[in-house]
Amino acid sequence: MHSGSKTALLFASLLVVAFGGGAQAQTIQFTVRDIALKSGESTEFGDVFFIGTNCKSLLKDTPVVEILDGPPGVTAVVNEAKVVPHAYGCASPVAGGKLVISARDIKDYSYTRMVLRITYKTLDGDRQRSQDINIALFPPS
């Protein structure tokens, strides 16, 4: 073999390992990182999923969200749903969920950072990712 052919073969092998060797994508697919809620309101904040390179879900169960830091009166939940991970070039829906954030019993205006941790129950075990969100809270009108 010529050295140019060997180099091309080595480069092609590295590309297969780097991009096709079982890489995974997980995300809390947000369209925004800042939200504002009045007391009693909820908002569907983003899609949550964990996929392989073939756009197939690797989840065994719906992801779970936990608020690690945030204002009182705010809750977060992941509702089971089929989602389409467009950002990864996928066209078909996969198992995942919709992240919903709710504000209850807000007495005074506040603006603060909220830290969420999502736990993905995958075929290879649990995986966790976190996300910071800025949230403005308003009392009822």
* Tens-place pLDDT, residues 2-35: 444 443 333 333 333 333 344 455 555 554 589 9
Radius of gyration of the chain (CA): 20
pLDDT at 22: 44
Burial (CB < 10 A; 0-12, 13-18, 19+), residue 119, is: middle
Residue 78 in contact with residue 27, Cβ under 8 Å?
no
| Annotated domain spans of the chain | 25-138
pLDDT at 29: 53
Place of tokens 């909220």: 114
The pTM score is 0.75
Topology at the third CATH level for domain 25-138: Immunoglobulin-like (2.60.40)
Task: Say how many residues make up the chain.
Answer: 141
Q: What is the pLDDT of residues 30-64, one digit of tens each?
A: 545 899 999 999 999 889 999 988 999 999 999 99
Torsion angle of C-alpha atoms 62, 68, 105, 34, degrees rounded to 10 = -80
Beta bridge partners of 103: 74
